[in-house]
Amino acid sequence: MKTKLIEENIKYTGVELSPHWIYKKFHLQGDAIVAFCGECEVHLTEMVDIEDVINNEPIYSKFMLNFIVEHFNIGLIEGVTRQRLLICIIKEALEAELKNAHEIIRSGDDLYINGKKLSVSIATKSLTSILIHIGINIDPSGAPIDAVGLDFLNININDFAQKIMLKYSQEIDDIILASTKVIGR
Protein backbone atom coordinates (compact mmCIF):
# COMPACT_ATOMS: atom_id res chain seq x y z
CA MET A 1 0.00 0.00 0.00
CA LYS A 2 1.35 3.40 -0.99
CA THR A 3 1.58 6.40 1.36
CA LYS A 4 2.32 10.07 0.81
CA LEU A 5 2.43 13.13 3.03
CA ILE A 6 1.37 16.16 1.01
CA GLU A 7 3.34 19.22 2.08
CA GLU A 8 1.03 21.81 0.52
CA ASN A 9 -2.16 22.87 2.28
CA ILE A 10 -5.31 21.64 0.55
CA LYS A 11 -8.81 22.74 1.48
CA TYR A 12 -10.97 19.65 1.98
CA THR A 13 -14.42 20.18 0.45
CA GLY A 14 -15.65 16.61 -0.03
CA VAL A 15 -14.79 16.62 -3.74
CA GLU A 16 -11.48 14.97 -2.82
CA LEU A 17 -13.39 11.87 -1.75
CA SER A 18 -13.75 10.66 -5.32
CA PRO A 19 -12.35 7.69 -7.24
CA HIS A 20 -8.79 8.02 -8.48
CA TRP A 21 -8.33 11.46 -6.85
CA ILE A 22 -5.10 10.21 -5.26
CA TYR A 23 -3.89 8.75 -8.58
CA LYS A 24 -4.80 11.80 -10.68
CA LYS A 25 -3.45 14.34 -8.18
CA PHE A 26 -0.38 12.54 -6.77
CA HIS A 27 0.31 9.69 -9.26
CA LEU A 28 -0.19 6.93 -6.68
CA GLN A 29 -1.95 4.10 -8.50
CA GLY A 30 -3.70 1.36 -6.55
CA ASP A 31 -4.37 1.13 -2.83
CA ALA A 32 -3.05 4.29 -1.20
CA ILE A 33 -3.35 6.67 1.73
CA VAL A 34 -2.40 10.35 1.64
CA ALA A 35 -2.34 12.96 4.39
CA PHE A 36 -2.56 16.72 4.09
CA CYS A 37 -3.57 19.73 6.16
CA GLY A 38 -5.90 22.57 5.37
CA GLU A 39 -9.22 24.19 6.00
CA CYS A 40 -12.20 21.82 5.93
CA GLU A 41 -15.55 23.00 4.62
CA VAL A 42 -18.03 20.42 3.35
CA HIS A 43 -21.38 21.79 2.23
CA LEU A 44 -24.43 19.55 2.29
CA THR A 45 -24.31 19.29 -1.52
CA GLU A 46 -20.91 17.50 -1.31
CA MET A 47 -21.74 15.20 1.61
CA VAL A 48 -21.91 11.45 1.18
CA ASP A 49 -23.20 10.91 4.73
CA ILE A 50 -26.97 10.94 4.28
CA GLU A 51 -27.55 11.24 8.04
CA ASP A 52 -25.58 14.51 8.13
CA VAL A 53 -27.58 15.81 5.15
CA ILE A 54 -30.92 14.89 6.76
CA ASN A 55 -29.81 16.54 10.02
CA ASN A 56 -28.54 19.63 8.15
CA GLU A 57 -25.04 19.23 9.62
CA PRO A 58 -22.36 20.64 7.32
CA ILE A 59 -18.72 20.24 8.36
CA TYR A 60 -16.28 23.06 9.06
CA SER A 61 -12.88 23.37 10.72
CA LYS A 62 -10.38 26.19 10.28
CA PHE A 63 -7.45 23.76 10.02
CA MET A 64 -7.55 19.97 9.86
CA LEU A 65 -5.25 17.00 9.27
CA ASN A 66 -6.93 14.92 6.57
CA PHE A 67 -6.38 11.32 5.55
CA ILE A 68 -7.82 10.06 2.27
CA VAL A 69 -7.65 6.33 1.59
CA GLU A 70 -8.58 4.46 -1.57
CA HIS A 71 -8.87 0.67 -1.69
CA PHE A 72 -9.73 -1.43 -4.72
CA ASN A 73 -11.30 -4.89 -4.93
CA ILE A 74 -13.06 -4.82 -1.56
CA GLY A 75 -16.69 -4.28 -0.53
CA LEU A 76 -18.25 -1.52 1.54
CA ILE A 77 -18.44 -3.52 4.77
CA GLU A 78 -14.72 -4.32 4.55
CA GLY A 79 -14.13 -0.64 3.76
CA VAL A 80 -16.02 0.47 6.86
CA THR A 81 -14.02 -2.09 8.86
CA ARG A 82 -10.79 -0.59 7.52
CA GLN A 83 -12.09 2.89 8.38
CA ARG A 84 -12.61 1.71 11.97
CA LEU A 85 -9.11 0.16 11.97
CA LEU A 86 -7.63 3.48 10.88
CA ILE A 87 -9.51 5.42 13.56
CA CYS A 88 -8.27 2.91 16.17
CA ILE A 89 -4.69 3.40 14.94
CA ILE A 90 -5.13 7.17 15.28
CA LYS A 91 -6.52 6.74 18.81
CA GLU A 92 -3.59 4.52 19.82
CA ALA A 93 -1.10 7.02 18.39
CA LEU A 94 -2.75 9.89 20.27
CA GLU A 95 -2.71 7.91 23.51
CA ALA A 96 1.02 7.21 23.04
CA GLU A 97 1.68 10.93 22.40
CA LEU A 98 -0.45 12.18 25.29
CA LYS A 99 0.49 9.53 27.85
CA ASN A 100 -3.20 9.36 28.85
CA ALA A 101 -3.22 12.99 29.97
CA HIS A 102 -6.58 13.41 28.28
CA GLU A 103 -9.55 11.10 27.99
CA ILE A 104 -9.73 9.93 24.37
CA ILE A 105 -12.92 8.10 23.49
CA ARG A 106 -13.77 6.32 20.25
CA SER A 107 -17.44 6.09 19.43
CA GLY A 108 -17.88 4.24 16.16
CA ASP A 109 -15.77 6.14 13.65
CA ASP A 110 -15.43 9.33 15.73
CA LEU A 111 -12.88 10.43 18.33
CA TYR A 112 -13.54 12.69 21.30
CA ILE A 113 -11.17 14.31 23.79
CA ASN A 114 -12.69 15.30 27.12
CA GLY A 115 -16.15 15.09 25.55
CA LYS A 116 -15.38 17.36 22.57
CA LYS A 117 -15.36 16.06 19.00
CA LEU A 118 -11.87 15.68 17.52
CA SER A 119 -12.58 13.98 14.20
CA VAL A 120 -14.89 13.48 11.26
CA SER A 121 -14.95 10.31 9.22
CA ILE A 122 -16.75 8.56 6.39
CA ALA A 123 -16.31 5.50 4.21
CA THR A 124 -18.12 5.20 0.90
CA LYS A 125 -18.17 3.14 -2.24
CA SER A 126 -17.51 4.42 -5.73
CA LEU A 127 -17.94 2.52 -8.98
CA THR A 128 -14.32 1.37 -8.78
CA SER A 129 -13.19 1.57 -5.17
CA ILE A 130 -13.80 2.17 -1.48
CA LEU A 131 -12.94 5.66 -0.27
CA ILE A 132 -12.26 6.73 3.31
CA HIS A 133 -11.84 10.22 4.73
CA ILE A 134 -10.77 10.93 8.27
CA GLY A 135 -10.22 14.52 9.34
CA ILE A 136 -8.67 15.41 12.67
CA ASN A 137 -9.15 18.97 13.91
CA ILE A 138 -5.99 20.95 14.45
CA ASP A 139 -7.73 24.31 14.93
CA PRO A 140 -11.50 23.70 15.17
CA SER A 141 -12.41 27.40 15.07
CA GLY A 142 -15.78 27.89 13.40
CA ALA A 143 -16.90 24.29 13.87
CA PRO A 144 -20.69 24.06 14.14
CA ILE A 145 -20.38 21.71 17.14
CA ASP A 146 -18.36 21.58 20.37
CA ALA A 147 -14.97 20.52 18.98
CA VAL A 148 -11.35 20.22 20.05
CA GLY A 149 -8.15 20.26 18.02
CA LEU A 150 -4.59 19.01 18.13
CA ASP A 151 -3.27 22.58 18.34
CA PHE A 152 -3.08 22.50 22.14
CA LEU A 153 -1.36 19.11 22.31
CA ASN A 154 2.11 20.07 21.00
CA ILE A 155 2.14 17.22 18.47
CA ASN A 156 4.34 17.49 15.38
CA ILE A 157 1.56 17.09 12.81
CA ASN A 158 3.77 15.87 9.94
CA ASP A 159 5.49 13.23 12.08
CA PHE A 160 2.14 12.18 13.51
CA ALA A 161 0.60 11.84 10.02
CA GLN A 162 3.58 9.79 8.79
CA LYS A 163 3.30 7.42 11.77
CA ILE A 164 -0.41 6.92 11.16
CA MET A 165 0.02 6.21 7.44
CA LEU A 166 2.94 3.83 8.04
CA LYS A 167 1.09 1.88 10.73
CA TYR A 168 -2.10 1.65 8.63
CA SER A 169 -0.16 0.53 5.56
CA GLN A 170 1.70 -2.10 7.58
CA GLU A 171 -1.54 -3.39 9.12
CA ILE A 172 -3.27 -3.71 5.73
CA ASP A 173 -0.25 -5.42 4.16
CA ASP A 174 0.03 -7.76 7.16
CA ILE A 175 -3.69 -8.64 7.02
CA ILE A 176 -3.37 -9.53 3.34
CA LEU A 177 -0.21 -11.56 4.00
CA ALA A 178 -1.83 -13.36 6.95
CA SER A 179 -4.68 -14.43 4.68
CA THR A 180 -2.19 -16.29 2.48
CA LYS A 181 -0.60 -18.46 5.17
CA VAL A 182 -3.53 -20.62 6.18
CA ILE A 183 -4.67 -23.95 4.79
CA GLY A 184 -8.24 -23.99 3.55
CA ARG A 185 -10.41 -26.88 4.78
CATH code for the domain of 118: 3.30.930.10
Residues 76 and 159 in one domain: yes
Residues 109 and 163 in one domain: yes
Residues 152 and 95 in one domain: yes
Residues 110 and 157 in one domain: yes
CB–CB of 11/42 below 8 Å?
no
Residues 160 and 118 in one domain: yes
CB–CB of 31/72 below 8 Å?
yes
First to last CA, the chain: 29
182 within some domain: no
At 47, the amino acid letter reads: M
Residues 46 and 93 in one domain: no
Show Cβ contacts of residue 140 under 8 Å, excluding neighbours closer than 6 positions: 61, 62, 147, 148, 149
Q: How many domains does the chain have?
A: 2
Residues 51 and 107 in one domain: no
pLDDT tens figures, 112-157: 998 999 999 999 999 999 999 999 999 999 888 889 999 877 889 9
35 within some domain: no
Q: Does 33 have pLDDT greater than 80?
A: yes
pLDDT tens figures, 45-77: 788 888 887 877 789 999 999 999 999 999 999
User: What phi and psi values does residue 153 have, to the nearest 5 degrees?
Assistant: -100, -5
Residues 115 and 164 in one domain: yes
Residues 76 and 163 in one domain: yes
1 within some domain: no
Residues 53 and 107 in one domain: no
pLDDT tens figures, 65-111: 999 999 999 999 999 999 999 999 999 999 988 876 678 999 999 99
47 within some domain: yes
3-class secondary-structure state, position 44: helix
Q: Which domain holds residue 49?
A: 13-25+42-58
Residues 20 and 102 in one domain: no
